[in-house]
């Protein structure tokens, strides 16, 4: 199986390093800058609680140099995908599988949801370009339950978790997903072949929806957010709103916000990925995590006072700090607010 990692950062580097070390797949990486140089000179490098590993890497910043792949794992930040996706043509064949190992709502999420036929989520795929170059029929949904960081370009520090949930975008088991699960399991991941990947995506999003932007706004770790009663109540309200939206699009949440908070509390003083992006001066993944939820809820006519406040606060914060665009994406979000509710 020929597999390409697009974006060899923390999660992409974790997946690529374990696959390359396991040797069951032919792995390459599309990277750039210091990460590309590190891969070309030092190979895949991974530090992990259960031992470090290193493996040779084939890497390039030119998709044509890597050629057509069986599987393309997208592990870039959501804001970078729209510009990157059209460049992936040389890596894509008619049977190439695309696996977005990314946070938030993917571009294909509402393709078959009643009331959303024929429209794309403007917050994720404004001109429908992603849907054109990354067709849902070739996309395998993915949820990552792992924590990792990159202390230096090309070096991954794995903290905890090896969970990868994979599934066909519109449900059911398939041989192609099972084959992918088997390869990743051989590389040391705890893989799950899901019959309802959209529900798995929404469930993870439900937890990230509040903790990520609130931590970015406040600079607080998750335990500090949970320790403030007013902030905790605000997060719970936003989660209840997201739960109602999920139920309308076939992704019910069976857990209460309070039950989720109890699980989150066990993680301790953890910095969310969005807070890490703020501290590093990287663009924040606001659209995939919050704006898309707001867009879906608006289209359904769902009341969302807490989600709306969270989106507005974080959007302005991102614009003021230069970590979120003040033009196109914000304009699309404003258009979603004014869109008439659907019945």
Where the chain has pLDDT below 50, the residues are 328-343
- Please report the pLDDT score of residue 256 as a whole number: 97
Task: State whether 153 and 217 are in the same domain.
Answer: no
Residue 194 burial (C-beta neighbours within 10 Å; 0-12, 13-18, 19+): buried
- Please report the pLDDT score of residue 336 as a whole number: 44
Q: From the candidates 77, 204, 266, 271, give the one annotated as an active-site residue.
A: 204
Q: What is the pLDDT of residues 145-176, one digit of tens each?
A: 998 999 999 999 999 899 999 999 988 999 99
In a domain, 60, yes or no: yes
State how many domains the chain has: 2
Task: State whether 259 and 128 are in the same domain.
Answer: no
The token pair that represents 280 in the structure block: 């590093």
- Please report the pLDDT score of residue 253 as a whole number: 97
- Please report the pLDDT score of residue 306 as a whole number: 98
In a domain, 225, yes or no: yes
Task: State whether 325 and 223 are in the same domain.
Answer: yes
Range(s) of the domain holding residue 289: 199-338
CB 52 within 8 A of CB 30: no
Q: What is the CATH number of the domain that holds 316?
A: 1.10.1040.10
The token pair that represents 157 in the structure block: 């520090």
Q: What is the pTM of this model?
A: 0.92
Q: What is the CATH number of the domain that holds 72?
A: 3.40.50.720
In a domain, 343, yes or no: no
- Picking from 164, 180, 195, the residue at the C-terminal end of a domain is 195
**Is 204 known to be catalytic?**
yes
């Amino acid at each position: 199986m020929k597999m390409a990692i697009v974006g060899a950062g923390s999660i992409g580097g974790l997946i690529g390093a374990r696959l390359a070390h396991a040797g069951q797949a032919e792995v390459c990486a599309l990277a750039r800058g210091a990460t590309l140089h590190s891969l070309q000179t030092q190979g895949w490098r991974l530090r992990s609680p259960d031992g470090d590993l290193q493996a040779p890497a084939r890497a390039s910043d030119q998709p044509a140099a890597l050629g057509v792949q069986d599987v393309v794992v997208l592990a870039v930040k959501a804001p970078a995908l729209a510009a990157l996706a059209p460049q992936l043509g040389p890596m894509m064949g008619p049977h190439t599988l695309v696996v977005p190992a990314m946070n938030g709502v993917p571009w294909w999420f509402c393709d078959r949801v009643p009331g959303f036929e024929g429209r794309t989520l403007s917050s994720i795929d404004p001109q429908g370009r992603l849907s054109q170059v990354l067709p849902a029929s070739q996309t395998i949904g993915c949820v990552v339950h792992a924590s990792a960081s990159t202390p230096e370009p090309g070096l991954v520090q794995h903290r905890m978790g090896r969970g990868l949930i994979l599934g066909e975008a519109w449900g059911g088991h398939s041989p192609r997903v099972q084959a992918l699960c088997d390869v990743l399991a051989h590389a040391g991941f705890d893989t799950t072949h899901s019959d309802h990947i959209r529900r798995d995506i929404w469930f993870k999003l439900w937890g990230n929806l509040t903790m990520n932007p609130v931590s970015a706004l406040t600079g607080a770790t998750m335990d500090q957010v949970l320790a403030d009663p007013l902030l905790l109540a605000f997060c719970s309200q936003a989660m209840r709103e997201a739960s109602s939206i999920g139920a309308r699009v076939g992704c019910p949440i069976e857990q209460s916000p309070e039950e989720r908070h109890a699980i989150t509390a066990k993680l301790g003083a953890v910095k969310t990925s969005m807070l890490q992006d703020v501290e590093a001066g990287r663009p924040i993944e606001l659209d995939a995590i919050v704006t898309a939820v707001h867009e879906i809820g608006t289209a359904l006519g769902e009341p969302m006072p807490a989600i709306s406040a969270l989106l507005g606060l974080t959007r302005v914060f991102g614009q003021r700090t230069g970590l979120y665009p003040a033009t196109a994406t914000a304009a699309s979000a404003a258009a979603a607010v004014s869109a008439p509710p659907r019945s």
